[in-house]
Structure formats: structure tokens, C-alpha cells
Structure 1
């Protein structure tokens, strides 16, 4: 497996100089963040990003993410033009040597939490999701704005989009995803790009919006509907694992050969549809990370993996979930498991 690290570009307080010092670090997961959703990514800007990373002895091995325009998700007549733009971006990424693209199909909002600095017993703090608090929030009020959310919408536009989703069922949203994949996967095949859809986070509907990449059944449906090795998933332990009903090993088995990218993090279930993120170790959360990596190894996964959503420790301040210290500890922990699995195979 190829140990990798999320980097948010030149404005990220976690610099490439620091990331390259993490033992065993090979790849950088990044994106271009100043291009409006749906616009074509210029080849020159992709090369500039890649070069800045290679100058630090690392490689740009995953783009996370190329956002999908809401018109595509809603199935509007205008979606075809946005899909054509997406295809052109894939071509430019391939030309620049990028072969793995992570994306998601979550309506309006990306990953969602109710608190960004919830305390843990050891004095650190982390991301928390409390279902009752989320149910009591109005996403139009501005009281909750999270990293990863597209905040470019005007309130009236956002209200119209949310209202439109009220008449879109989960099956319709899945149909819109399949329409999108039927269009872009042939380009991915031509360009040798692995598309890796990220699960919905959390893996259930929020704010009255449908969500469809949530469990084994939906993953199998999506993979079978567009049956191509280039149509795959990002296996995120924390997203799928937030729901105790999801068997992570079963999902890996169902998607074997189609897992192109892995996010590894742990969560502790704290109540019905509620959880808090923890240190990566199996004993610190509700997920057995050793079992997960062993299963990934068993099905032959050798692609990029990154430690995801670390705690804030040792007084560090920064982007919630994306500090340096705990993610670096997570990478070292994951590398220890991976090396042990590799040694066992050699014995």
C-alpha cells in the first residue's frame, strides 16, 4: 500500500516540508481549490500543483476531489455540459500523469459534524457527530459551516437547491449517479484513470437530503450498474464505519478489485446515529483497523492509503481534522500494520 497524506495547497499550515519528514510517506492527496465547481481544470495548473509536490520528493498520486456539479446530481437538463467539462478535466489530469480521482455524490453538503472540537478523555479534541443536534440545525442559518462545504452559494440559491432535492428520491439520486458514470467512465477507461467514489459521511440522510453511497447493497448496485474496473470506490473506514450496521470486511469483499483508494480512521459509537472520531488505534475506537488492513491486503489492495481526520493534540491549531501531529501518528501506526502484514507474507 502507498502511504499518502492530504495536503490543502500552499495555504495549508501543514507544509510539504513537514509532511516529507513522516516515515514512509510517499504520496500527496490534493486538489486545485480555486476553480469554480464544474469548470474545467486547466492542464497548466495541474502540472504546477504536481511540480510543487515533486520538488519535495513526494508524488501527487490522488486528486481529492474533482467536485460534481449539483445540476448533475439533481439530473437537470443542464447536466450534460457539466459532464463534458468533467470529462475534459479527467483528460487533463491523465495528461499530467494523475491516475486516481476521488469524488463524492453527496447532495449540497460534504462531510458533516455537529462539533469540531469535542474533548476526549486524554485532553485532545476531535470531530463529533450528534444526531439530535444535527436534527435541530437549519443549514440555511449559517450556524454550521464546515471544511469541505461549498460556501459559494447565495442563501436564496441554496434554499432553491435544497427545496429541489425534497422531490428527489434516493433511487432517483442513484439513477443520476449512474447516468453520470455511464458518461465519464468510458473517458476514464481511455485515459487510464481510476474513479473512486467516496461514501456519504455520515452514511445516512441529513437535512432531508437523500444519500446513496452508504452501505454494501448500494455499493454493489453502483459497481454492477457500470461494470468497469475504472469505476471503483474510496473505502473510508470512518464513513462506512459510522453506522454499526455496516460490516467493513463485507464491503471490502464485495468491492474487491474495485477499491482504488483508502481513508483509514477510527470512530467510537456514542449513541444511535452518533459517533466521535478517535486516535487511529483499534483499541481507541469501535473499528478494528488491523482487521480492515488485513482484509485489504487479502483482497490484493496495493493502492494509495491515507490517515484520515486526526485529533488535535499537543496544542496544535489548524483545519479541524487535518492537523499534522495525529495524522502523522496515524500514518506511522498504519505503516506498522502494513509492514507486519508484508513480513508475514514473506515468511
Structure 2
């Protein structure tokens, strides 16, 4: 398994020097500054590649851009409105430019409006470490009382709604502002961010789009881009919904093993693959991560390895991100299944036998709490996670 690290570009508070000291083999990044829907030009791609080549003292780093995360899919494409056809054409052009630059793996997602959702970005654990958390009652308080989405109260059970009412009544203005900001924080590193009015506008436009409709739009997108990816020798890999259950009355189409099976069946190509994120999928108790790796592994092109602790037994509920070996996902079993898949690929002569993974997210520990890097992406917390995963990998490989 190839050890990679997500980097948000020159403004990232975790530097190229830090990545090298962590012992990573490749870099996962994107052109976060390019507006969604616009073309990633050869010059911009080459510029990002060049930024990775040197350490702070000018010494060659030896690092290369190996995985794109993410080449974002616009809301126009998801809703099939506005500039969606131009955006698909631009997506194909960006794919061709990435292939020309030697980058073969592209991660993306098809989540409507919010690319990931947390209510706390620095939730304090008993140890003093901080992490990201999704609190279902706090989210309900936001949805019902702050966003004031029509009909929101009907989407929550009576006990959740009552707790949301109680919590909102106890919130001061600072907490209300913080909660709203956390939830609409947007994709890490993205050029765009949403206001509450932006969210309300998008929700109104999604009002007529069911889960079946969104899945049809997704398949239309795949039918356009997957043949191009296959011709270019690219591997597209869709990231799951985060969290993997319905929010804000929006449709979700990539939350379960069945969702991935339907996607692959609809557009059956080796270029149409999976980003298996153990943290996102693991927030739902009916997702069997080691089993998914065994059954869907042929199409897993990229792995996000992180862990969450679920605080409730229902499909939709609260959870927080924890140590990579400390949550509800059996990380040893998942990595064993990934290694078994690699061995199958290598025996079959596949060029892509070595599956890239990255230590996804991490607790803010030690000096991370002073550095204040991108939420979920501290230096030391991720290094600790990578070290733990590397230890499992070494032991299993023996």
C-alpha cells in the first residue's frame, strides 16, 4: 500500500518538509483556488507539481503529485441546471490535462450542497486532544432554528427535536454563529464557501430532485466522463457521502455498499471506481468496511483510513473522529483485506496493484493545537495515525 499525504498547497501550515519527515511516498492535492466548473489548465497543474519539488532550503524533495483530491463536480452538474453541460466539457478537458501531466487517479464526490458536515471542529476529548464531531441534536438545532428550513422539524424524531429545542434555547449568539459556520464550512481547501442564504437557495433548487433523480444525474455524469477516463488511462474514484445518511432533506446516493454496486453496474468500467473512506462509511453501523473491501476491492482506487466512534445505534446519529485504531471500524481487518486485494492484482499483472492510501484526518495533539492547520488535517495527529497504520501494514506484510 502506497503511503500518501494530503496537502492544501503553499498556504498549508503543514509543509513539504513536514511531509518528508513523516516519511510519505506521494502527495494528494488539488488546485483548490480554481473555481468549481472551470478548466484546470496545464500551466496551473505544472505549477502545483513544481511547488512539490523543493524543500524550504531548496533541497529537492523527491515528492510527486500522485492523487487528485478533489476535481470537484459542480452543483450545476448535480442539479443539471445552468452551465452543467459546459462544466462537464471542462471536466473532460481537466482530466485530459491531468493525464498529460502524468497524474492517473482522481478522487471526487457527488454530495449535494455540503461536501462534509461537522458541528464541532475542535471537540475536546478526555485526553485534551481535539477532534471533529457530528452531534445530531446540535445539527437538528441548526436545521430547525438557525437555517429555519421549512419542514425541518418533521425530519427528526420527537426526542431529538426536543433536545434540539433545549440546546438552541441555551445557546448564546457566539455559539449559534460558530455552529452555523462549522456546518457550512465546505470542502477543505475549496475556493468557495457558503452563506446561510446560499444554502437556502441550493435547498430550494433541490426540492424537486429525489434520490432517484440525483442518481440519474450521477449516472449521466459518469456516462460522459468515464469513457474519457478509460481512454486516457485514468482512474476515477468516488468518495462516499459524509456523513452517510440524509441531511437537510437532501438526497444521498453514495452512502452504502448497495450505492456503490449500483454505480459500478450502471457504468461498468475499470475507470469507474471507489474512494473507500473508512471514516465516512464507518459512521453508519450497517456498513461492513472489511467486507466492502473484500467484495468491491477490484474497483478501490484510493483509500482514506480513519476511524470514528459512533455515539448512537441508529443509521443517523452522533459520532466523533478518534484515533485511527480506536474507533468502531476494525482497521486491522480492513487493511488485511486491502493487502489481499493488492496481492490478487499483482498476481493478475495489474499495473495499479499498489493501492494509495492516506491517513485521513487526525486528532489535534501536542503542537498541533498551536499550529491551527486545516480542520482535520494536523501534522502530528496525522503522523501518529500514519505511524499506527504503517505498523499494521508492516506486521501484516510479514
TM range (shorter): over 0.9
How far does residue 122 in structure 1 lie from its aligned partner after superposition?
1.4
State the Cα deviation string for residues 51-82 of structure 1 (Å, max 9, x = none): 22133221111010011011110122642211
Kindly indicate whether the alpha-carbon contact (under 8 Å) linking 1:94 and 1:191 is maintained by their aligned counterparts in 2. yes
CA RMSD of superposed structures (Å): 1.7
Structure 1 unaligned regions, length at least 5:
none
1:90 aligns with 2:95: yes
Residue of 55, 60, 72 corresponding to 2:65: 60
> Is 1:112 the equivalent of 2:151?
no
Cα shift at 1:133 = 1.2
CA distance in 2, matches of 1:166, 1:52: 42
Rounded to whole Å, the distance in 2 between the matches of 1:248 and 1:168 is 29
Secondary structure of 1:54's partner?
coil
Q: Tell me if the contact between 2:123 and 2:131 (Cα under 8 Å) persists in the aligned partners.
A: yes
Q: Is the 8 A contact 1:135 1:207 kept in 2?
A: no
Query: Partner of 1:146 in structure 2?
Result: 185
* 1:110, distance to aligned residue in structure 2 (A): 0.9
Aligned partners of 2:95, 2:130: CA distance in 1, in Å? 37
1:285 equivalent in structure 2: 327
TM-score (norm 1): 0.94
Aligned counterparts of 1:90 and 1:182: Cα–Cα separation in 2: 15
State how 1:3-82 maps to structure 2 within 5 Å.
3-23=3-23, 25-55=24-54, 56-76=61-81, 78-82=83-87
* Structure 2 residue 366 is matched with structure 1 residue 311: no
- Where does 1:1-347 land on structure 2 (aligned, <5 Å)? 1-23=1-23, 25-55=24-54, 56-76=61-81, 78-138=83-143, 140=147, 143-144=180-181, 145-148=184-187, 151-152=192-193, 156-271=197-312, 272=314, 273-281=317-325, 284-300=326-342, 302-316=354-368, 317-343=372-398
Give the 3 Å change call, closer, same or farther, for CA 310–157 of structure 1 in structure 2: closer
Which of 77-86 and 32-41 deviates more? 77-86
Residue 254 of structure 1: CA displacement?
2.8
Q: Structure 1 239/79 Cα, relative in aligned 2: closer, same or farther at 3 Å?
A: same
What's the CA shift string for 1:125-175, capped at 9, x where partnerless?
Answer: 101111121122147586223251664456555432211112211111111
Q: Whose Rg is larger?
A: 2
Higher helix share: 2
